[in-house]
Amino acid sequence: MTIPSKPGDGRVAIVLMKSEEADATIDVLAADHPDVKIVDQGPYWYLEHPSEINVDMARVSEEMGGKEITIGQWLVVMSTFVGRAETDDNSFRVTSEMLELNEPVPAAAG
């Protein structure tokens, strides 16, 4: 069994409870992003990457034989994450980027 990296080293991680959705996510990431480290930790999957993990719900749905899955349904099996999270209707992304610092600050009204 591989041991996850030490906390605080800049990596990002996602922990998923084992389930059909988690298994499909593992299969998608293993195929599309082979640089994501996948560790079996009993009832959970631990996923780790040096900078970013992006889970595409359309690909997860495809891997589940076309069974549709929403981001809300997928988030139920995610028990925790390390990094900065960003979601939209079709994906979950955890990154080491300082997302809020990359956004332009709106001008003050006046």
* Domain regions of the chain by residue span: 12-83
CA 20 to CA 17: how far, in whole Å? 10
Q: What would the pLDDT profile of 36-74 be if each residue is shown by its tens digit?
A: 999 999 999 999 999 999 999 999 999 999 999 999 999
* pTM score: 0.80
Q: What is the largest CA-CA distance in the chain?
A: 59
Q: What would the pLDDT profile of 6-36 be if each residue is shown by its tens digit?
A: 545 679 999 999 999 999 999 999 999 999 9
Q: What would the pLDDT profile of 75-103 be if each residue is shown by its tens digit?
A: 999 999 999 999 999 999 999 987 555 55
CA 55 to CA 50: how far, in whole Å? 15
pLDDT (0 to 100) of residue 1: 46
DSSP 35: T
Assigned CATH class of 12-83 = alpha beta
